[in-house]
Amino acid sequence: MSAKITVIGSLNMDLVTRAKIPAPGETVIGGDLQTVPGGKGANQAVAAARLGADVQMVGRVGNDLFAEQLLANLTAVSVNHDHVTQDPQAASGVALIVVDSAGENSIVVAPGANGRLSPADVDAAESVIKNADCILLQLEVPLGAVLRAAQLAHKHGAKVILNPAPAQPLPDELLALVDVLIPNETETALLTGLPTTNQVEIEAAAAKLRQFGVGAIILTLGERGALLADADDVTYFPPFIPEKIVDTTAAGDGFVGGLSVALAEGKSLAEAVPWGNATGSLAVTRLGAQPSLPSRAEVETLLAQATSEQQQGVQQ
């Protein structure tokens, strides 16, 4: 049976151009404009669906052309969007993205309808939270909706996975409901008030997060891979080095999607982290958010290659 995943979060249309990332006050000329479906919530939903999960999306879009394109894109990858409301009083969320020649990006989000997702919207989706193996949460929708989703998931025994991006302070009440927290270094520093500039500091910050009642922390470390801190241990996982870096947009979302599918399929946290690393690493080799997310076959091929390289290394 497929993994059942429900995502409560944002949908954005990404307006993307390639350019040097401008300094404050600077105007630069970019490349052609690309209009690409994105939003952290929808990206994670698409990542999970492309890996074979049965995915439900809960969110809000406007009543505009972008909404039609965003929903059509979810339909194309078999993400159910019965619980995505079309709001006549707001525009669909939009992200303005500049990608530079090294694939790094700079993003400004105009949340639009995402900013109006309410606890009542989440209550209306209780059936798909109840049926899920895990729910995926991020912070591009109001905290009230995020907290309500975590409470319902906890009530029904679905695993709560929170990717605290974009970073903001979180109430202890929410952190105590989280089974797996997936921050990066910046988000970890903001949540803990501690520096995260070296290994010792990072492990101390992860330990502090666990004191809030979070089940496990998976700290994404970019080109240095990921760290898993749970009740038993702290473990580092090496990255998959991408063949080329075209655009890092949605690499984190790919990581969350890949990890969640593996967990929902019954793999352990330690088995699931490489799925996250592989999915995120493949996403950076292509431009854009949702079009860059890999298929299950691509992820399995990369994981098999890594296993075979490891075995060869052991034999030598």
Which residues participate in catalysis according to the annotation? 253
Phi, psi of 137 (to 5 degrees): -125, 145
Q: Please report the sign of the dihedral spanned by the C-alpha atoms of residue 189, residue 249, residue 94, residue 29.
A: positive
Nearest to 258 by CA among 278, 242, 243, 241: 278
CB 145 within 8 A of CB 122: yes
If the CB atoms of residues 229 and 280 are measured against ligand RIB, the closer one turns out to be 280
Asked if 44 interacts with ligand RIB (CB under 6 A), we say: no
Q: How far is the CB of 136 from ligand RIB (least distance, A)?
A: 13
| Binding positions for ligand RIB, 67-96, rule CB under 6 A | 95
Q: How big, in percent rounded to 5, are the helix, strand and coil portions of the chain?
A: 40, 20, 35
Number of C-beta neighbours around residue 247 at 10 A: 24
Binding-site member from 6, 9, 18, 40 for ligand RIB (CB under 6 A): 40
Distant-in-sequence, close-in-space partners of 86: CB < 8 Å, separation ≥ 6 = 60, 61, 62, 63, 67
Contact window for ligand RIB (CB under 6 A) among 8-16, 173-181, 229-237, 297-305: 8-16
Q: Which of residues 198-227 bind ligand RIB (CB under 6 A)?
A: none
- If the CB atoms of residues 4 and 41 are measured against ligand RIB, the closer one turns out to be 41
Helical segments of the chain, H only? 40-50, 65-76, 119-124, 126-130, 143-156, 172-175, 185-192, 199-211, 251-264, 269-283, 296-315
Torsion angle, alpha carbons of 45, 47, 49, 54, to 10: -50
Q: Which x/- pattern over 224-263 shows residues binding ligand RIB (rule: CB under 6 A)?
A: -------------------------xx-xx----------
Site for ligand RIB in 137-156 (CB under 6 A): 140
Check residue 196 for interaction with ligand RIB (CB under 6 A). no
Contact status, residue 12 vs residue 93, Cβ threshold 8 Å: yes
Q: How many residues bind ligand RIB (CB under 6 A)?
A: 16
Of 39 and 62, which has the nearer Cβ to ligand RIB?
A: 39
Closest residue to ligand RIB in the complex (CB): 38
**100 or 300: CB nearest ligand RIB:** 100
Q: Which of residues 268-297 bind ligand RIB (CB under 6 A)?
A: 289
The DSSP annotation for 271-315 comes to HHHHHHHHHHHHHTTSSSSGGGPPPHHHHHHHHHHHHHHHHHHHH
Out of 8, 47, 71, 109, the residue judged to bind ligand RIB by CB under 6 A: 109
Distance (Å, whole) CA 125 – CA 58: 7
- Which one among 6, 43, 92, 281 touches ligand RIB, defined by CB under 6 A? 43
Q: How far is the CB of 43 from ligand RIB (least distance, A)?
A: 5
Which residues bind to ligand RIB, rule: CB under 6 A?
A: 10, 12, 14, 38-40, 43, 95, 107, 109, 140, 249-250, 252-253, 289
